[in-house]
Structure 1
């Protein structure tokens, strides 16, 4: 779950990857020098982690550049410049070694106590730039680290995240069987002699329900792109990148700020319908109509900015109703008797 949902900000624990050789090969592939062959696991892990955090590589800086960084950041070291004499035996690398160590230590001890002194418009721009590196589609996104610094920053940052990214919510299709005087579809054009009907119900996954429960009520109004994925059985062992090709149903909802401004797209991937465009179109249209009915109620309350968790929950039975209406359509169209 954590890897699927939050990989956009999680850092890899390099110390768990194995011996120095594995870390050394990865560091070399990223541009580290051959001297890293003699580094410890801790040194290699620290170097790789700095790369993940996109921190400066001070080893590639000139001494004068290091001196400028030290001076501008008011970091106390001795000697303070490359030319300043020292009492111990003079070595050209003393300043450089101490400067790099001091700058790297300072990078990991950053404080942002003045961030809230910035104008709100500038803070919002910082959030936008920070979130630009995130994938455009996020599956059940957890709160990113910047939103965990303080309650105030969280209240400002999360709306920016939700407004600018597609939020993926996994649902689940559960098969039911209802006996009675109905038809049965199993990929065959011949009605069953047993006259029973296969139906399906849509439920939220446990992770989706938890995500909706933990999301603050006032943040739902900022959602602009919601994608509901209902996978088939084959998708359970696949990665997020492969998973989209193994969905039984994908529902994309785009919300505008105006009262009735929304767009719903339904894509059916059920292989049972691949050879029948009429069946596929009818299935998609009926599900789309039911989802739009939910959003029409939101519009009647004053617009998409009035979206709530209950509206998201209401989409689940709407999809089920669409599937049931499709069942009724197939039964009355192909086997009316």
Structure 2
């Protein structure tokens, strides 16, 4: 997928901030109040977070936990000195031979600030690792993202250099479940005879993904929604997850609470998607996804809705 093409498409749409999945960004906690953050910190670290922290300080602490980093403010000064010595960090602003409480607090604060700054600027020689270890790092890195992504941007690790891009993207597309939204039109079918229509996000994502990347995708999550004039009024009618890597009896899972026909409808859906997968396997020897197959899945879902 060409990220420049993506940005141009969504810039023309005028609401790019809502179109991209910022799955790789740290949570900014914009909609979380301070009391909730303090309660979560207390539950996570076992210490009462009752100090008059500013909102930004609380957000910084929450983000450190999200990153799996140590909260140095909970450590004793002697422990912080050992951390700094082990990492060869020169601490500035530390005063020795003074037992006044204010000096102790300043020393502790100086240690905390400089150790946190060292964390923010820490580097790791990833490219020097053997390839099999690098792939394991990519798997762990990508496992931290959301399980299902809709029209996502590529992970930042894939944009650092050509070597990492060639190694990271296959893992990214293989491990991620991609969400495709289909809008169901009530009444008569559209002029082209179709009842289900890809929404803008899905069609832009699919049409701009390269065949090489699409062939790596192993799982598609189809959301069937009622087409309405506003997003807020839309409701999911059914969810159909197609797995191209699973066993024949587990390749299609369905969740539906509003569509009629119940178990019979589910049976038809499974039969239709299985036919598509069988055609894919007969064509390539295994289920290699192409753009036409996505449309074939759409048609298979459409048949049982008429």
Aligned 1:110-259 pairs, distance under 5 A: 110-112=122-124, 114-177=125-188, 201-232=195-226, 236-237=231-232, 247-256=236-245
Partner of residue 26, structure 2: 11
Aligned pairs, number: 281
Partner SS for 1:142: coil
Partner SS for 1:30: helix
Give the aligned CA root-mean-square deviation in angstroms.
3.9
Residues 171 and 58 of structure 1, relative CA distance in 2, 3 Å threshold: same
Residues 120 and 290 of structure 1, relative CA distance in 2, 3 Å threshold: same
**CA distance in 2 between partners of 1:2 and 1:261 (Å):** 39
Partner of residue 103, structure 1: 115
Shift of 1:116: 1.0
Q: Are 1:293 and 2:279 matched, yes or no?
A: no
**CA distance in 2 between partners of 1:266 and 1:29 (Å):** 35
Shift of 1:201: 0.9
Residues 265 and 289 of structure 1, relative CA distance in 2, 3 Å threshold: same
Shift of 1:56: 1.2
Residues 256 and 47 of structure 1, relative CA distance in 2, 3 Å threshold: closer
CA-to-partner distance for each residue in 1:67-111, whole Å, 9 max, x for gaps? Answer: 23212322222478x8x569xxx9334442222111111222233
Residues 200 and 176 of structure 1, relative CA distance in 2, 3 Å threshold: farther
The normalised TM-score by structure 1 is 0.67
2:67 to 34, 43, 53: 53
**CA distance in 1 between partners of 2:22 and 2:258 (Å):** 29
Partner of residue 187, structure 1: none
Contact 1:147 1:153 in 2 (8 A): yes
Partner SS for 2:153: coil
Residues 66 and 230 of structure 1, relative CA distance in 2, 3 Å threshold: same
**Structure 2 segments unaligned to the other structure (5+ residues):** 1-15
**CA distance in 2 between partners of 1:154 and 1:102 (Å):** 33
Contact 1:288 1:322 in 2 (8 A): no
**CA distance in 2 between partners of 1:135 and 1:254 (Å):** 17
Contact 1:257 1:303 in 2 (8 A): no
Residues 210 and 68 of structure 1, relative CA distance in 2, 3 Å threshold: farther
Contact 1:200 1:320 in 2 (8 A): yes
Partner SS for 1:48: helix
Partner SS for 2:172: helix
Shift of 1:308: 1.9
Contact 1:28 1:34 in 2 (8 A): yes
Contact 2:268 2:304 in 1 (8 A): yes
Higher relative contact order (CA closer than 8 Å, sequence separation 6+): 2
Contact 2:238 2:259 in 1 (8 A): no
**CA distance in 2 between partners of 1:149 and 1:175 (Å):** 46
CA-to-partner distance for each residue in 1:119-159, whole Å, 9 max, x for gaps? Answer: 11111111222233344344444333434444433332333
Residues 72 and 290 of structure 1, relative CA distance in 2, 3 Å threshold: same
The normalised TM-score by structure 2 is 0.73
Residues 300 and 270 of structure 1, relative CA distance in 2, 3 Å threshold: same
Partner of residue 3, structure 2: none
Contact 1:225 1:255 in 2 (8 A): yes
Partner SS for 1:230: strand
